[in-house]
Copies of this chain bind each other. A is one copy, B any other.
Amino acid sequence: MPRLIAIDDPADARIAPYRDVRERDLVGRDGLFVAEGKVVLEKLVDSTQARPQSLLIADKRVAALATLMERLPDDLPVYTADQPVLDAVAGFPLHRGILAIGRRVDPPTPDQALAAAAAAGRDVLLLSAIANHDNMGGIFRNAAGFGAGAVLLDRDCCDPLYRKAIRVSVGATLLVPFARLAAGADALALLDAYGFSPLALSPNGAERLADLRPQGRQAVLLGAEGPGLSPALLARTRSVRIDMADGFDSLNVATTSGIVLHHLATRDSAVAAGNQPR
């Protein structure tokens, strides 16, 4: 169990990585990220994708973390501070009182991520131009909740390890393996190489999700609300729609991911029922 290091000066150089975390979020930092809150910290400790580098905890929250602390390596720096010092360091009132700096370890390539998901018999997600951190976090939360094996991101997606995306995902972005596609990569060829059948979600999809009884491993393709997936991509895939009520054709993309992944997660019973003659 690590020993606690008391900090009483917001300018202390040892906690420099925590300074002004809101602004720092915006800057890519070699696989480093900021995690906040107890639940997210628990996921970080559980993660095989990431490791804590240090913790910064409000004095009053130390007791609540006692059990978790026992699982941390002895040499992990765990800084403690009173609330005013913590707020001064973070640059805003840090009510949760729990911050950690984490680092991704051995991030998989797209090939590695797909190979592992295929070996585990899991479905995957392929995200295109998801630029909103709430949506990114919500999609990962659903990916973890319904057992997706990996998430692939195109170049126009935001960072799943941005602080807010981690928080909205309830730590799922630290658990579900993800990889960013190289510029110009042929995502569909890559999915095909690992045996994933693409299901492209679109309001104008040819097939209705509820009627779908897909066999084998699926790759769920999701684009940003509004523009959606590119016509070029849709032309090469099986397109699927979720029917909406008249006059309100608007579904959040994270909610869409939950509906699709739930449908896929329960398709075995659906197949049993759906294969009967009507």
Residues on A facing B (Cβ under 8 Å)? 46, 134, 138, 141-142, 144-147, 170, 172, 175, 208-211, 242-252, 254-256, 258-259, 262, 265-266, 269-270, 272-274, 276-278
Contacts and interface: CB of A to CB of B under 8 A. Distances in A.
Contacts of A252: 138, 141, 254, 258
Interface centre among A46, A172, A265 (most CB of B within 10 A): A265
A29 B232 CA distance: 50
A269 B134 CA distance: 33
Contacts of A172: 248, 250
Contact of A245 (B146, B170, B258, B259): B146
A172 B249 CA distance: 11
A203 to B, nearest CB: 11
Given A255-B254, A255-B255, A274-B273, A244 B146 contact: yes
Contacts of A269: 210-211
Contacts of A147: 245-246
Contacts of A145: 244-245, 248-251
A245 B146 CA distance: 5
A255 B210 contact: no
A210 B175 CA distance: 26
A93 to B, nearest CB: 17
A254 B244 CA distance: 16
28 contacts: A46-B247, A134-B134, A138-B252, A138-B255, A141-B252, A141-B255, A144-B245, A144-B250, A145-B245, A145-B248, A146-B244, A147-B245, A147-B246, A172-B248, A208-B266, A209-B262, A210-B266, A210-B269, A210-B270, A211-B269, A242-B262, A251-B258, A252-B258, A258-B258, A270-B270, A270-B273, A272-B278, A273-B276
